[in-house]
Each structure stands twice: as C-alpha cells, then as structure tokens.
A and B are shown apart, each in its own frame.
Chain A
Amino acid sequence: MDRIKIIDVHEDVLANNDRAAEALRMRLHEKGTLLINLMSSPGSGKTTLLNATLDAVAGRLSVGVMEADVDSDVDAYAVQRHGARAVQLHTGGMCHLDAAMCEQGLRELGTDGLDVVFIENVGNLICPAEFDTGAARKVMILSAPEGHDKPLKYPLMFEVSDVVIVSKMDVAEHFDFSLEELERNVRARNPQARIMPLSAKTGEGMQQWVDWLLGEVAAWQG
C-alpha cells in the first residue's frame, strides 16, 4: 500500500473559476463582445429594463441575453420579442452563475456579430456577487421599493458593481425611500460606482443608462 501523503495546497477554492473567467473575458475582448453581468433581487425589474434598453438601442447594437433562472423560460421569450438573441440557462437549483456555466451559455447563444451580451443573473443580492462570470462590467439594479438601506445589508453586491441602477423611480414617492440616503450608503462602500436613477416604464433617466452602454461598447471595441 502506498504511504499516505499530506500535501500543503493553500489554493483559493475560486482560483480555477477566476482563471476561467479571465480567459473568457480576454476571448470576448478579442471578438469585441461586451459581456455585462446584470444582478438584482427577484422582481426588481431586470427584464423590464432589458426590454426598454433593447428598444432604445434597436438598429445601433446587436444584443444577446442569457437568462439564468432556477427554472422556467418566460424571461427568454420576453426579451426575444424585443429583438435580442436569447438563451435560457437553468442553474439546476444553484443560486448563481459561475464562469463555466456562463461559457456554456455563450456557446449555445453564439456570440458572432453581437456587440453586447447581458447575463440576467439569478435574482439574489448575495451569491452572484461572489462569482466572477467572465463579464467585463457588473451592473446591479435596486428598485426603489426595496429601500435605501440595502447597501448596508448586502455590502458585497454594492462593492463589486460598476453601475447601480435605481429602478422604479416613478413610484419611489409612495415608498419610504430616499435617493440621497441610498447614494450615501453606496458611496460608503463603493466611491467609484455610477448611480443611475431611472424608470424603464416612463423612460425617465433611461438616456443616461443608454449613453453609458453605448460608450462602454465603443470603448470595448475601440
């Protein structure tokens, strides 16, 4: 019988995932496809924002969407009707996407000719923040009804995001929600984050978001 070996490994469990994510990011950079990881709680308006975004960039950007859900395919059909190439990923009960799942989804979607691909991540403010999917930008949505205290409760999500979209601003006045307090809470965690209050339903504030998106795609392809 072989002797028992004790091996000092000291390897970060997510190191493999991080390497796979970095390789994916580089491949997508060469192809000129900007991958954006869109994260939020369930019901914050991810699909509504995507549909409004698709309408706003129609004819200017070709867009793909990977819908990640534990089950169902209602969201993929919804964004297809607004002109996106879409695939539905089922995570099989997992609470997030990682780089391998994302790569598999991109293969199925086919990135040829796409300027931008959105990952509509599983609705959850905790787990998706922990895993690098290979996306070049991270955008999170907080809907006004969720409250301005969320950066205090889910700090990592707010720390890792490049953009914090504050959705459903058209109904904010009916809730106990202060945009100033929210901005203060986000800034305490992430001074660089772009904060964009908007309503995908009324169109208020959408221009800033669409301009950001067009600028990021141009820079990525530059």
Chain B
Amino acid sequence: MHELGIVFHMIETLETVAVQNELTTIARVTLDLGEVTGILPDYLLDCWRWAADRTELLHGADLELHQIPAVTVCNACGRTYATVEHGKICPHCQSPETVLLCGNEIEIATVEGR
C-alpha cells in the first residue's frame, strides 16, 4: 500500500550511497524484500520506474527484487514454520506465543554503478 513512500526512501538512501562511493550513475539495484512487508512487487516496480527516471542518478536503472520468505518461531515448542501458510498460531503445538523471525525486510542489497 505504501510503495511510493518506500521508493522515495530508497532513492534517498541510494543518493547517500552514491556520494559515499563516488558514483555518478547507478544502473542496477537489488532489493531484499520480505514476504510479509505488505509491499506489492508490481506496484513497487511501477513506482520505481516513475520515480527513478525523474532523477539523474537513477535514470533507467533496473530494480531487481529478491523475495525473503517469512518464517515464524514458536516460543513454546521452539520450532519454526512458514508464516504465510500458518499465521500467528503455531501449527506444531497450537501456541499463540510466536514471533516473526524474518520476512519483514526492505533492504537494499547491492548497487551497481559507475
């Protein structure tokens, strides 16, 4: 739902990365995207194209998404399970004492530029 906001924050971060690494153009960015961030990849890519092309640094830059599966750990039985499939209740012991282990990432992984 908030893909455009995420893209604006990405561009801000990438501008800092460019200054730190003396890049004048960026051609490719890879993003680790957790499965339960609520971000829709198609919308994110559309927003990226729209916003990136309005900057000198990122004009025409490709965005590649790597999806990170969501995994939850159960504090009662210690086992892990797939979050999207089973939700909040542990499928092994039916406990609600569960915590998301990963799947909420929105991380710029690599940047290619010159």
Contacts and interface: CB of A to CB of B under 8 A. Distances in A.
A9 B111 contact: yes
A96 B108 CA distance: 22
Contact of A16 (B2, B13, B106, B109): B13
A95 B5 contact: yes
A130 interface: yes
Contacts of B27: 4
A14 to B, nearest CB: 6
A13 B17 contact: no
A94 B13 contact: no
A16 B16 contact: yes
B112 interface: yes
Interface string A105-141: 0000000000000000000101100110000000000
A17 interface: yes
Interface string B18-31: 00010100010001
A13 B10 contact: yes
A14 B109 CA distance: 13
Interface residues of A, number: 31
Given A94-B4, A95-B5, A126-B38, A11 B113 contact: no
Contacts of A16: 9, 12-13, 16
Contacts of A130: 2, 38
A104 to B, nearest CB: 14
Contacts of A95: 1-2, 5
B110 A94 contact: no
A100 to B, nearest CB: 9
Contacts of A1: 114
Interface in B21-53: 21, 23, 27, 31, 38
Contacts of A9: 13, 17, 108-111
Interface string A1-25: 1111111111111111100000000
A155 interface: yes
A188 interface: yes
B17 A7 contact: yes
A98 interface: yes
Given A12-B105, A16-B12, A16-B16, A4 B112 contact: yes
23 contacts: A4-B114, A5-B21, A5-B23, A7-B17, A7-B21, A7-B110, A7-B112, A8-B110, A12-B107, A13-B13, A14-B6, A94-B5, A95-B1, A96-B2, A96-B5, A98-B5, A124-B1, A126-B1, A127-B2, A131-B2, A155-B88, A156-B38, A189-B88
Interface of B: 1-2, 4-6, 9-10, 12-13, 16-17, 21, 23, 27, 31, 38, 88, 96, 105-114
Kindly list the 9 A-B residue pairs having the minimum CB-CB distance in the complex, ordered from nearest: A127-B2, A13-B106, A2-B114, A9-B108, A7-B111, A126-B1, A127-B1, A13-B9, A6-B112
